[in-house]
Amino acid sequence: MPIFEIEKDDLLGLDDGQLEELIARLCEAEVAAKSHAISSVRWGGSLTAADGGVDIRVTVKDPTFVGDFIRRRDTVYQAKVPSMAQAAIKKEISGKDTSKDLFQELAISQGAYVIVSLKDDLAPAKLTERRKLMSEEVDKLVTPGSVALDFFDRSTLHQWLRQHVSVQLWVRRALGKTLSEWRPFERWTNVQPDADDTLIVGEGLYLSLPGQNSDLPLAEGIPAVHFHPTTRAPSHVQRKPAFRPNYPYSPRPEALRTGYAQ
């Protein structure tokens, strides 16, 4: 199993707020990976307040957008920790807490509505059954087939999570399963507010990216990593001439002093 990946059943440790945040972060990661604005993802608010059937909403303006786990460019997610059987699905879609205007809006925009259930981990036939139940309820409210519908169980959520390492690190921290000496993108140092916190980019530091014919100076390489399509593959920071001992990346300063980080 990859170093950052967690077990599927570890996700059961998430509470309602953490589940909602996980889905939102996954949406942001997928939108960003496709070079669209992260501000397309809207979520938040009180967990106890009426939300009209919306926990997370993605509204990408670009009509050419093609997502994966974001089913349409206008997609609504409802996050649920408990199992969502027939009665729960009916209540979620047709109950008084869900605005009927929501499905009218999604029908007009040709959007999608997705229920994410953390406790459910279903066989394919059961997943199909859940989606059929959703369709039966939504078709009572709008023209049949005008809204794309889906049901994500824990396996689907875990599959989505495996695509985004940065979100895996966040989940590990949320669950208290952090890895020794690995941290997500954040401030690793404790610099005083009035001190200079500028990144030191020394002469002779280069970054080697997969598929690149030549190494990049560190100042150019850092932005290139963000947009590079293959950053899951190992990349290297080095002083020239290249010296590449075989040990993994560490945020500690001695990693750069030795001239190599993976």
pLDDT at 194: 77
Residues 21-67 pLDDT 10s: 999 999 999 999 999 999 999 997 655 556 677 999 999 999 999 99
What residue numbers bound the domain in which 229 lies? 205-261
**DSSP 8-state code for residue 101:** H
**Residue closest to 79 by CA, chosen among 105, 112, 113, 32:** 113
Do the Cβ atoms of 4 and 169 come closer than 8 Å? Answer: yes
Residues 244-257 pLDDT 10s: 433 344 444 443 33
Counting residues of the chain whose pLDDT is more than 90, the rounded percentage is 58
Q: Is residue 163 part of a domain?
A: yes
Pair (210, 167) in one structural domain:
no
Using 50, 70 and 90 to split pLDDT, how confident is the model at 222?
confident
Pair (169, 225) in one structural domain:
no
Q: Which has the higher per-residue pLDDT, 56 or 181?
A: 56
Q: Which has the higher per-residue pLDDT, 174 or 99?
A: 174
Query: Which H helix or E strand runs over 34?
Result: none
Using 50, 70 and 90 to split pLDDT, how confident is the model at 180?
confident
Decide: helix, strand or coil at residue 207.
strand
Query: Which H helix or E strand runs over 87?
Result: helix 86-94
Q: Is residue 52 part of a domain?
A: yes
Pair (36, 133) in one structural domain:
yes
